Amino acid sequence: MTDQRILTASAVMAAGTVFSRLSGFVRSALLVLALGAFLRADLFAIANTLPNMVYILVAGGIFNAVLVPQLVRRIRDDPDGGDAYASRVITLSALFLAAVTVLLVLVTPQLLQLYLAPEYREPALAPQLETVVDLTRWCLPQVFFYGMFVLVGQILNARERFGPMMWAPIANNVVTIVMLVGYLVVWGASEGAEQRQALSTGQETLLGLGSTLGILVQLAVLVPYLRSAGFSYRPRFDFRDPELRRTLSLGLWTVLYVVVTQLAYLLIVRLASGGAAAEGTGYTVYSACLLIMMVPHAVITVSLATAMLPSLSRSAHEGRLSELGGTLSSTLRTVLALVLPIAVILPVLAPDITAVLYNHGGDGEVKARAFAPALAVFGAALPFFTVHYVMLRGFYALEQTRKVFVIQCGLSLTNVVVATVLVQARPPVETAPMLALGYLVSYAVGAVVSYLVLRRTVGGLDTRGLLRFLARMAVALAAGAAAAVLVVWALAGLGETLPPLVALARGAVAGLTGAAVVVATARLLHVEEVTSLLDTVAGRLQRRRGS
């Protein structure tokens, strides 16, 4: 795939991700309005997040990391274009995911014991424990639907049909928004002490069933695109295929990598839920702020990396390591040119962003203030997460999943140790920002280690070019951050926690000012990646006007 085609495919995916995340923000705001920002919200957040965590543990590593290079290989080498191989993968995966889902529903209470803090077993929290168990039972069928969604999406990605997988989550968000509006109509917003109470059976049923229905609809949206991509599924049970065995053997290290990651996340959830049980800011705040940070990551990094991966896989398959390294280097600088300004300005805008999303209802100001510190820390973590993510695409293209496992062990250990020390040293109200700080430190370590190991593996990643780029960008970023801070200070008289519309206006002015200063300074310093992006955008606008 040429650079222009990668950019075009990335633009399609980015557009889908933007609309998906915008609808996700509406969903998040409605969720906080309906359930609050404390214990009641955490009950739903844990129950609704657990299926995705379990899916990632049992199958996500293979589906997300190993499958695309194998599908590209089979499309290229097999006479049928890889149809038989993909059909075997779908059949085996569906059987496996269905069995795992049924088993998990049967052992829900035991499963939750792994994730919940010990405080939940106290008699005073017995109703809340019952609520989270019931909600989780409703949500666990999502394990099957998540797995099949990612599997179908990766088959489409391997055939360079990138858009549908990025647009489909909008359908899920629409279903969830309708569910939450229905909740608000029937039961109203949660305020005051109600935010720490258990849910009724009717509330549990609506929230759990609606959430699972959303993931089912998300999967259903993808299915018609398989045929248009030239793939026709036929159930196949000949699982002794050598290529399928190769995929499973490559996936072993990825599964171990995911196990380590999920064990670390399990401990983070326990730390976060402990903060919630103590009436501090716990898992809801942590997960919501992480979701906000993931918006620019999904729009920019995931879109470019997803479009790049088939090309990387072909370069690796044909032994063209210098070409692979060059593609990774240029992609990393392009991604950072877009991500770094967001990472620098996001902490400045955190109070206004959280006010826009969560300052609704009687306790709106309290809710908004609970989210701002963690969001600021996650913003600073974004560049490190980006570098680590891009480097892992190189390892996956090279099918070196063992190295990924070793790197992830160090990253996860760092995250758990730093987070535990920080959470225990600070009061419960600071639980979420301390967890975010542990996340930042761990991915800073992961970014450096993964970059150095991959550079040695491929024989070079143009480190001098990256350092020159970072030095020039640092000047532009400092100027942009200063401009954004000056705008916020100049408008400080408006108040500390602003009404949503006022916060939106101040945040927009500060953010646009900071971004404009970054772009202008980068152009003056001749930062090639920034000027190239601007020239590409200007060229497209001129062509549209001409047509």
C-alpha dihedral sign at 523, 528, 534, 540? positive
Residue 517 · residue 523 · CB < 8 Å: no
- Cα 325 from Cα 314, distance rounded (Å): 13
Q: Name the 3-class secondary structure at 491.
A: coil
Question: Distance of alpha carbon 28 from its chain centroid, rounded?
Answer: 14
Instruction: Tell me the residue type at 332.
Output: L
Question: Residue 545 — very low, low, confident or very high, per pLDDT cuts 50/70/90?
Answer: low
Question: Residue 541 — very low, low, confident or very high, per pLDDT cuts 50/70/90?
Answer: low
pTM beyond 0.95: no
Q: Name the 3-class secondary structure at 79.
A: coil
Instruction: Tell me the residue type at 437.
Output: L
* Separation in Å, CA 73 to CA 136, 326, 383: 39, 21, 31
Higher-pLDDT residue of 113, 247:
113
Higher-pLDDT residue of 452, 232:
452
Residue 189 · residue 361 · CB < 8 Å: yes
Residue 404 · residue 65 · CB < 8 Å: yes
Question: What tokens does 11 get?
Answer: 């633009």
Where are the alpha helices (H) located in 426-499, listed in sequence order? 431-458, 463-490
What is the tens place of the pLDDT at every residue in 411-432? Answer: 999 999 999 999 999 888 888 9
- Cα 483 from Cα 513, distance rounded (Å): 7
Question: Residue 407 — very low, low, confident or very high, per pLDDT cuts 50/70/90?
Answer: very high
Per-residue model confidence (pLDDT) at position 149? 92
* Separation in Å, CA 472 to CA 383, 463, 476, 496: 16, 14, 7, 34
Question: What tokens does 367 get?
Answer: 């809710």
Residue 259 neighbours by CB distance under 10 Å:
17
Residue 201 neighbours by CB under 8 Å, 6+ apart: 134
Residue 363 · residue 36 · CB < 8 Å: yes
- Cα 440 from Cα 497, distance rounded (Å): 26
In three state form, how does the secondary structure of 324-371 look?
A: HHHHHHHHHHHHHHHHHHHHHHHHHHHHHHHHHHHCCCCCHHHHHHHH
Instruction: Tell me the residue type at 34.
Output: A
Per-residue model confidence (pLDDT) at position 385? 96
C-alpha Rg value of the chain to the nearest Å:
23
C-alpha dihedral sign at 331, 314, 73, 222? positive
Question: What tokens does 368 get?
Answer: 């908004």
* Separation in Å, CA 87 to CA 236, 294, 320, 338: 6, 32, 30, 38
Tell me which residue of 134, 132, 58 sits closest to 93, measured CA to CA: 58
Per-residue model confidence (pLDDT) at position 8? 62
Mean pLDDT value across residues 130-137: 94
Q: Is the predicted pLDDT of residue 410 greater than 80, yes or no?
A: yes
- Cα 360 from Cα 355, distance rounded (Å): 8
C-alpha dihedral sign at 193, 196, 197, 200? positive
Per-residue model confidence (pLDDT) at position 39? 78
The angle, 0 to 180 degrees and rounded to 10, between the axes of the packed helices 67-77 and 83-106 is: 150
Q: How does DSSP classify residue 399?
A: T
Instruction: Give backbone dihedrals phi and psi of 112, rounded to 5 degrees, phi first.
Output: -65, -25
Count of residues in the chain: 547
Per-residue model confidence (pLDDT) at position 277? 46
Residue 206 neighbours by CB under 8 Å, 6+ apart: 179, 182, 183, 186
* Separation in Å, CA 172 to CA 1, 166, 220: 31, 12, 10
Per-residue model confidence (pLDDT) at position 311? 76
Tell me which residue of 486, 476, 480, 472 sits closest to 515, measured CA to CA: 480
Tell me which residue of 241, 251, 217 sits closest to 405, measured CA to CA: 251
∠ CA 417-448-386, nearest 5°, is: 90
Per-residue model confidence (pLDDT) at position 220? 95
- Tell me which range, 150-154, 305-309, 321-325, is most confidently predicted by mean pLDDT: 150-154
Q: Is the predicted pLDDT of residue 467 greater than 80, yes or no?
A: yes
Residue 362 neighbours by CB distance under 10 Å:
11
Residue 59 · residue 97 · CB < 8 Å: yes
